[in-house]
Structure 1
């Protein structure tokens, strides 16, 4: 280790230093490690260099993942300077559109998505000996995916690969159990922080509350002030409000130029006080010198899946308690500090941040997993099944998947590193003009809306209005309803896309009415919509769903639209933004989705079979004509579909058939060993297997009411052999002999959720004289529920304990009933009395 630290003689001490030998020892003995260390402990910048001469590393490279570009640059720069080197030599970094590494680089700091690309390109990870996941508590989906892939590589290909998961605030015990890894914890460097809640005034906007808190902090406390805000927009607003303060006001967010970021991360050269307005990029990974006061809005922009747009959007949401604690800790790094929280003290925050994988669009994840070759990887939190299946369905429509296989288009889409919808659109155009237009549309869709609603009018629902505002901005004109700054950001993003695609063509200055939709349809193939033949405001989507325009829509009357924003409502969804498209272009680009088909279907409205010859685009019917001579064999399919729509009650059930169902369902529950021999007759199972048991019985029929009761019974019992039917009759009989010598019916039933009820035997009390115990069925496992009746057939008692009834309740019943029914026997001793179903003989 002497050589390692030779170039760092003046290196400051860090709280994590005493733990470094244990970290090295743990990784020598075990390939995985969970390391907990609070902000300021030094885990980000001290652990990677401490591992460089480990024997197991054998001269190979260390990869360290950081959640943000600013953190990756800062960490690499600090480690390089600590070695007396320029960044890009022993220590370097790689982020999107920027690469500072060389052949001699041993520690490479990368953003989270970079690891996924490295693993997909080279699963063996040649030349890499360790992967460190820094700030894992942020639970970005890219980090979860990277960890799942790395664990798979370690298990299948690289037992020698070391994996270290590091964080300041996470459930370390749970993660260590998931990884089957040791867990080490470091003390941090911190001073006491006085936490107070800074109340808002009535109807006060957040930025004005922030300004008052800054004024108070500057006047009451020494040191620099760090303010946590959700995003750039809020930072810009607060900057305009605090120009008066006697301090240097600086912004810090991930989109700033490198020089400005570096300036914030270095001490002020003139010792002037500073107010840093930051997003949650300052919550972890980076160190801001001199901060003594933290002002926390308690808000952050985090990704949430937005079904309106089909994308994950950055929404302003309350932070978790763990984030609040970490933010407050920033005030205690150099001396005693103060933290002001701008939410009510009574407000309770969620304990931990929810993982992105549980709340964002999963189409990118599904595509990565398909390329990897399987979706059975181990995730700390598994992707939700419904969202994952929906993502795969979308990828099929986009042409990225063919079954479970990634297509050549899907591989090119992944290489673009953006949402699969946008990637499909960017790669679809064949000519340069349309490709440049696709770059504009990608930038518009990813950005916030550049148009403001005019006074007294709703915001335009035409995507073309946004693009025309962008074209006007490029020509030096900004429409009054548009935001210049938003258009400037969109224009810059479009330039980046053209560079990424190596496109030399300039963006068009004008476009025909349908040009935008003709390109956009490749991003939203599921939202192609055709106008209703009668109602000009209603449209049908390719999925079959009905949507609606606003009454004053600029798109009213367009035959075809591609919808890029929807809003769910009680009835039809509302179109918020769309573009017209040309049907001829639709046929040219998606010929396989236009089909001509003869259909024999159940018409729910007419409650009858409909036979038609249709021309369709997906589920949009373009033309329909009656079919004069339909194929009779297809009627059974239509009738089965009718039962799916109407439910099982549409079938001609009899009491006997219902009892059969309930007897079988009861035996499956009461005698689990028979479950394999007896069919599942629950509603869900019967509906799922209609083609198997019901369709043969409907063969040759043209109406649902042509199915007879006997035919339904045979269909229901079709997969139960004779011996099993006999066993059902024996174990769950329809009737049972009672002491009177008569046979009485047993009634079977199930609850609404399919749970079998206790079978019921309704019988006159006199017929059970002499019977001591409650009768049982199902090989003695299930007692019958006795409905004991009066001579007139009215209920006297409901019980499953006949012995207890005779002992405790019968004397009271006898006293009451003897006078009412004197012609019937009411013996003092029912145990020895003769059972009868008649009245007493005359003369007795």
Structure 2
């Protein structure tokens, strides 16, 4: 195998440096050759080799193949441990484990005393558990076991950052591929469904090439549709391969084909790494995968179909070169390939971090960001996780793990399900909790029953699980999922010590789901409209809707265990009724009573109520007697913020005062800011005293708004305001004319021409820095000139104006030298006018 040439350098690196990163092309043999070669290393000193595989199928397959190379049965020198299944013995030297198992081993024995090396295979997949496992192992090596060796292996990993994280360990590269693989591009037309295009590619490959075909599709649904469209071409065996398949069917897909038969294996990403699918010479890659994506905004995880990264595409391509030169059909163009992401997005950056944070709390890591993670956990997702753990009672307000939280961590379940199981045991409903947990961890056991999908109620799923446990599989059921859920429920019952005689009471299903999903307890908003389902408000504040015709539509309360997190109202996928009496009986610590004095837009008044709340849900509402006047006043201010300052009685005096203040604020920021934004932000400071005693926005009409604005100034500032931004300006005729501050940057003085005679320069206010804009009016009070240069107007513009107006107003005074003439407010100046 190609990796064999790199093994001596790898062994030296592990001996001398205590760790290494091994990069080897797909099919190089690293998964099965390296652990066997490590068995003879003296530094093992009788300890075992622990190898982490991301998937159950890969763990079983790798262990079985290594055992066959030794000519032994599984469980002797080589064994495996996965959830609910173990094939190890006292003689086992190599243990292949899945990710959850490694985490449990580290929590129970942080030093991993019985193991000499931990191998992280296919690390490029960057699963949450692999990142966590490596971080914990690095800390254990630093603090507890400096002799613990760590090896990271991958075909497509960017090795530099990982080697640096591990303390600068050597990177060992295994060059070369076992056999070359030719790449052919076959882009999908936009108007052709995926499954139809995949079938075309399969038929083309059957005609052009020899050997078996491995076809990568995003999920089970696409696999079933493709198989139905393809049928059974002569001389072929069409075999599905995905995680939910029964073990026997998985083995059939992996096994050698019958003589004369070409295998066509339709697989998910499960076949991307570690597995050897016998008889394969051709790969057809749809370029898509289905992955869970967590939204910190909603606290929900949904499955999303996304393009694969280039490193994943290389892994898939490598499957074609395991046995002989192969061919890979990529169902995209070379141009599209240039836009594909280079590497897989680490699950750490997209996952629900509540399980991670609980594990770290149990580990004793007070600050997750201090651990050696290749990518630190995102702050938003960590905050969401911390909030959930506190809500479930796993953490206290100081962020410390509680005894209840430690029990939750020991279960190995998601924190929601762990909390549910522990609470259920206290109520004698452990059996029901185990069944619910099994259903929630498994894919839906009911097949689609129409465009809206299956009934969203929990009850038919519980019945299906119990039927599967008894060996009966009804129609309309996902058989393998039902069997796995039944097996998981039985395993959990043994784990939690549920008495065999305990019979689940399905009436409590909603209560137990409420323990797991307190944020998704919902209260009905309406009973739905024709063609749509009932709408609910969830305790977290989001909306959710039932499919049309759901039997749960009449329930006042439900708990939604699964939602699609799409649109304004998430579609509910799984739910149960929730009895209102349970709030007080089981959630009393989360039910709070509060006063609400708030403006009601519909009535235009302030409503004072006493509310009983559970999260965003108002469980009970009664009128509040004699609310404090100040509370009502503050509610009115909130109404103003919603409605805007136009609802205030802006008199001419109030508008002028606001303009004066704005003009001075432009010149000197120490003056109050009276912009809309600033006034709305400071309503409590300048307006609150004036609205106490009022109850509606209509009452605001009685406000003396000018007096309220003046409250922002002390006595000295009011005097300064009158000096620097006066309300009026005395012109040469003796008239006091109001200044218009509508535009605070250019206040306006509008005066008749004859009243300005003798004024040689433009008047200035605001510390001598703000020129008034003169609107020079005709005798009929119509503007004839707008200027801030009065001197220039007298020299130039005046004579044009005089020529135009003198004929219309011959009785009025039209001097030849307006800059020195006597101003008048009359038609002509009186003898003594203008002398004072």
8 Å CA contact retained: 2:3, 2:30: no
**1:49-68 matches, cutoff 5 A:** 60-68=47-55
Q: What is aligned with 1:115?
A: 102
Distance, in Å, in 2 between the alignment partners of 1:157 and 1:488 is: 42
Structure with max Cα Rg:
2
* Residue 414 of structure 1 pairs with residue 409 of structure 2: yes
Instruction: Tell me the TM-score normalised to structure 2 length.
Output: 0.72
1:393 aligns with 2:387: yes
Match of residue 513 from structure 2: 520
SS at match of 1:376: helix
Deviations 1:554-584 (A, max 9, x none): 2233232222344667665555543223223
Change (3 A) 1:14 1:266: farther
- Alpha-carbon separation, structure 2, partners of 1:282 and 1:795: 85
Higher deviation after alignment, 437-446 or 639-648 = 639-648
In the other structure, the counterpart of 2:311 is 322
Deviation at 1:338, TM superposition (A): 1.0
Indicate if the aligned counterparts of 1:133 and 1:166 stay in contact, CA closer than 8 A. Answer: yes
Could you tell me how far apart the structure 2 residues matched to 1:126 and 1:715 are?
Answer: 75
The equivalent residue for 1:612 is 609
Q: Measure, in 1, the Cα distance between the counterparts of 2:97 and 2:282.
A: 31
> 1:366 aligned to 2:357?
yes
Q: 1:554 to 1:306 in 2, by over 3 A?
A: farther
Q: In 2, are the aligned partners of 1:16 and 1:42 still within 8 Å (CA)?
A: no
Residue 629 of structure 1 deviates from its aligned partner by 3.2
- Partner in structure 1 of residue 57 of structure 2: 70
2:327 corresponding residue in structure 1: 338
CA shift digits 1:498-526 (9 cap, x unpaired): 344343547969x66x4432332222212
For residue 373 of structure 2, the aligned residue among 363, 369, 379 is 379
- Secondary structure of the residue aligned to 1:429 is helix
2:521/2:539 contact within 8 Å kept: yes
CA–CA distance in structure 2, aligned partners of residues 357 and 572 of structure 1: 27
- For 2:113 and 2:523, how far apart are their aligned partners in 1? 53
Q: Which residue of 1 aligns with 2:124?
A: 137
Alignment-derived partner of residue 627 in structure 2? 630
Match in the other structure for 1:187:
175
Which position in structure 1 is the counterpart of 2:811? none
Unaligned runs of 5+ in 2: 727-738, 750-759, 762-766, 778-782, 804-816, 823-836
The reply on whether 1:530 has 2:523 as its aligned counterpart is yes
- State the secondary structure of the residue aligned to 2:361: helix
What are the within-5 Å matches in structure 2 for residues 222-241 of structure 1?
222-235=210-223, 241=230
* CA distance in 1 between partners of 2:617 and 2:77 (Å): 60
C-alpha deviations, 1:173-197, integer Å up to 9, x for none? 4545555635623313243322223
The Cα shift of 1:94 comes to: 2.7
Q: Distance in 1 between matches of 2:94 and 2:6?
A: 19
1:831 aligned partner: none
**Are 1:435 and 2:430 counterparts?**
yes
Change (3 A) 1:502 1:274: farther
Is the contact between residue 637 and residue 688 of structure 2 (CA under 8 Å) also seen in structure 1? no
> Structure 1 regions of 5+ residues with no counterpart?
1-10, 669-676, 736-744, 750-758, 771-776, 778-783, 799-810, 824-837
Are residue 295 (structure 1) and residue 279 (structure 2) matched? no
CA RMSD of aligned residues (A): 5.8
**CA 1:79–1:814: 2 relative to 1, 3 Å:** farther
Change (3 A) 1:211 1:501: farther
Is contact 1:20–1:50 with CA below 8 Å preserved after alignment? no
Q: 1:99 aligns with which of 55, 80, 86?
A: 86
User: How far did residue 434 of structure 1 move?
Assistant: 3.4
Q: Distance in 1 between matches of 2:679 and 2:136?
A: 41
- SS at structure 2 position matched to 1:399: coil
The change in CA–CA distance for 1:445 and 1:501 in structure 2 (over 3 A counts) is same
For the 8 Å contact 1:15–1:42, the answer to whether it is kept is no
Q: Is the 8 A contact 1:16 1:43 kept in 2?
A: no
The alignment partner of 1:14 has SS state of helix
Does 2:149 correspond to 1:167?
no
Secondary structure of 2:118's aligned partner? strand
Q: 1:48 to 1:687 in 2, by over 3 A?
A: farther
